[in-house]
Homo-oligomer: A and B are copies of this chain.
């Protein structure tokens, strides 16, 4: 089965890794959100792309889910001693990614070219493609004004109350080479358990992608379990937007797009409500604590959609 997955950071990376464990490289393409990307310390930083790559390459910090395993912090702690910005904690290994990517982007290469080469160097055989080579910036509208995503997420610890989102530059952006083909060739599109507002919505907002995805068999895995986000501010965002956070609320967000929906067992009472949104529902354990959990959930998802194709 040819699968194209849409992913944000930690949760998305875990399911993408599960899929990569069971699908041959030719059968899986992972399209990653770049709305969180930002320039910091003069470096071009792609948090979601790096989390997906580090996870697939077996390089990710198993404790945090992001950053590198066995990381050291010499550079950032010395920047701090010099009075420089220290709110975004970059490790020494991680700095290499940003420095070399920035060098190549400034030399005129595209983000997707650089990502392809980095994946090769990291021994990642499955295709990982940024949604766009053009800058698209998720802007969070809050009670304290508009904030760039990392400013909101890392610097302000998601404290400002969310009023809405926009994706700066998305109208002028093009999907990166291979993204449209990945969607058109896919038998199934998997929306990974990523934040629907700031990880999946930016991908869907890239011109031409949403309508192409809608024409496909699309399965989504809820990033909200028992009313809580496994990681990140998704539940808080729903709440502040006046929506009770739940796996059902996520499904409503994906109405008209998603035909098959995967719920955690803890949320099985929502099954009937989700069905009313014209979605098939599969209930399973969706919490991925171990590497085996990732593989098992990926198998569950593929069996579920396979039973419909």
Least CB distance from A178 to B in Å reads: 21
Interface mask (A97-110 → B, CB under 8 Å = 1, otherwise 0): 10110111010000
* B72 and A96 contacting across the interface, CB-CB below 8 Å: no
Q: Which chain B residues lie closer than 8 Å to A77 at the CB level?
A: 96
**A117 touches B (CB below 8 Å):** yes
Q: Known: A42-B42, A42-B106, A92-B92. Is A100-B74 also a contact (CB below 8 A)?
A: no
Q: Which chain B residues lie closer than 8 Å to A41 at the CB level?
A: 99-100, 103
**Complex Cα gap A84–B99 (Å):** 9
Q: Which chain B residues lie closer than 8 Å to A104 at the CB level?
A: 84
A:234-276 near B, CB below 8 Å: none
29 A-B residue pairings within 8 Å (CB atoms) = A41-B100, A41-B103, A42-B42, A42-B43, A42-B102, A42-B106, A43-B99, A72-B72, A72-B74, A72-B92, A74-B74, A74-B92, A74-B96, A78-B92, A78-B93, A78-B96, A78-B97, A79-B96, A79-B99, A81-B121, A82-B96, A82-B100, A84-B96, A84-B99, A84-B100, A84-B104, A85-B103, A95-B95, A95-B99
